[in-house]
Amino acid sequence: MRDNHISYLELKAKNLEEIKRFYTKCFAWSFTDYGPSYAAFSDSGLYGGFEQTEGDIVNGALIVLYHKNLNSVKNKIIQMGGAISKDIFPFPGGQRFHFMDPSGNELAVWSDK
């Protein structure tokens, strides 16, 4: 993985079983469950996952960038006018945070370090 490259695509889903069935049958994607509310996909050309949500899905895609030093890139984002919308938190495989760019787009940055 390389710093600053798009690494992962995260989408929302109302029903994980239904969404897994849909993408498996339509596009032959493979899925790995990580708990009751998250399923990662592969065999799609880009790794990604679906997070179950009860809320309205307004913009269901979350672009996830990779960077080996989360604190360093987090500070750059803040210095350049971005805002942290979810501070650094652990998840299976690493840790990440979410940020809003100056136009209001939410993205995330993760690290396996």
pTM for the model: 0.78
**Distance set, CA 46 to CA 34, 36, 55, 72, 100 (Å):** 18, 22, 26, 26, 23
Write out pLDDT tens, residues 38-78. 999 999 989 999 999 998 888 888 999 999 999 999 999 99
**pLDDT tens by residue, 16-35:** 999 999 999 988 999 999 99
